[in-house]
């Protein structure tokens, strides 16, 4: 039979943002429920070496970090639910979410931490070599390519920014774009073209990623989009930078979002346009997209949720006294 689960703070998503919100919410006595979704632990569960999360002098593993966050959240009073939300109702004083299991979740406040996923090319070798030379985050993994030759795939702001960032580590950065001009802002293009470590390869489509004898990335097989000519570009690291897709399909028509699907929040806060509903992590962040920034906004969401409930309770008490 379907069960209705009630809580003062309902959290959808179990990455760094969702679990940080849960830890703060639980410690505030809100008895949060976290509905974990299709990918419990979020993007870090498919990340191997993590070297930029504060508090660990040695490289740690992404799945282990998320296991520890979840254990901490449970330890302080969070209820973890293995379910996937298929529909939400944000129209009432209590927010309702329906799970794929048939269960219903009701929250006095709602924290949305469903995240965003990098867009991939979908070509052979891409997923097989993920973590072995292929990445979608230069800020996360660029450090591991010190002194090496790397490529960045894409033509927008993200691709150009990642190429510029990688010059801090790599000896040579090659930007590969399928067209003959970039879509990025002109100021970024000027910096890119002026940088001595960066070269651009135009009109090339990635056909596949090729592994070497050691099982790591050796080269990219590319096809010229004008002539059809096939060739290889040697590289020890490849960064796919063609954008991210926020997991916000559930909230279309129910919350304000931008043209690319990211939830819009009040600047400097996790507050959405619906009072009591908060967005944390990559679901509303198309700029930084780091585990530590996601965790920070999860903390902010929990603190604001607690303040929202306190203000609502005070208003209710005041009205009762007036009558």
Cβ within 8 Å of residue 69, ≥6 positions away: 16, 19, 20, 23
Is 141 an annotated catalytic residue?
Answer: yes
Could you give the CA distance from residue 38 to residue 105 in angstroms, rounded to a whole number? 17
Nearest by Cα to 282 from 260, 311, 308: 260
Exactly one of 140, 282, 285, 299 is catalytic; name it: 140
Could you give the CA distance from residue 59 to residue 39 in angstroms, rounded to a whole number? 23
Q: How do beta strands 116-118 and 244-246 pair?
A: antiparallel
Say whether 10 sits in a helix, a strand or coil.
strand
Exactly one of 49, 137, 207, 224 is catalytic; name it: 137
Could you give the CA distance from residue 248 to residue 241 in angstroms, rounded to a whole number? 20
Exactly one of 141, 282, 285, 304 is catalytic; name it: 141
Element containing residue 223 per DSSP (H, E): strand 217-224
Is 299 an annotated catalytic residue?
Answer: no
Could you give the CA distance from residue 260 to residue 81 in angstroms, rounded to a whole number? 29
Which positions are annotated as active-site residues? 137, 140-141
């Amino acid at each position: 039979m379907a069960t209705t689960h009630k809580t003062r703070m309902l959290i959808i998503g179990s990455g760094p943002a969702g679990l940080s919100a849960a830890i703060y919410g639980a410690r505030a006595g809100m008895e949060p429920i976290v509905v974990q979704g299709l990918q419990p632990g979020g993007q870090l569960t498919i990340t191997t070496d993590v070297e930029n999360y504060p508090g660990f002098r040695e490289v740690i593993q992404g799945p282990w970090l998320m296991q520890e966050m979840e254990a901490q959240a449970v330890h302080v009073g969070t209820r973890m639910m293995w379910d996937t939300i298929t529909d939400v109702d944000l129209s009432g004083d209590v927010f309702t979410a329906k799970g794929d299991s048939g269960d219903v979740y009701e929250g006095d406040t709602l924290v949305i931490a469903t995240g965003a996923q990098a867009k991939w090319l979908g070509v052979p070798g891409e997923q097989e070599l993920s973590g072995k030379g292929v990445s979608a985050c230069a800020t996360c993994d660029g450090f591991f390519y010190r002194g090496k030759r790397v490529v960045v795939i894409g033509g927008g702001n993200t691709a150009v920014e990642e190429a510029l960032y990688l010059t801090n580590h790599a000896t040579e950065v090659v930007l590969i774009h399928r067209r003959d001009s970039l879509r990025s802002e002109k100021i970024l293009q000027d910096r890119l073209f002026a940088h001595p470590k960066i070269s651009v390869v135009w009109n090339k489509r990635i056909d596949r990623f090729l592994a070497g004898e050691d099982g790591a990335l050796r080269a990219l097989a590319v096809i010229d989009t004008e002539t059809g000519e096939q060739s290889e570009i040697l590289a020890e690291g490849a960064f796919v930078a063609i954008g991210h897709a926020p997991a916000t399909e559930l909230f279309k028509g129910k919350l304000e979002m931008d043209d690319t699907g990211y939830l819009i929040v009040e600047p400097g806060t996790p507050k959405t346009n619906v009072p009591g509903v908060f967005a944390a992590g990559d679901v509303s962040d198309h700029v930084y997209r780091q585990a530590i920034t996601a965790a920070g906004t999860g903390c902010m969401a929990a603190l604001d949720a607690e303040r929202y409930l306190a203000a609502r309770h005070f208003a209710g008490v005041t009205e009762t006294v007036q009558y």
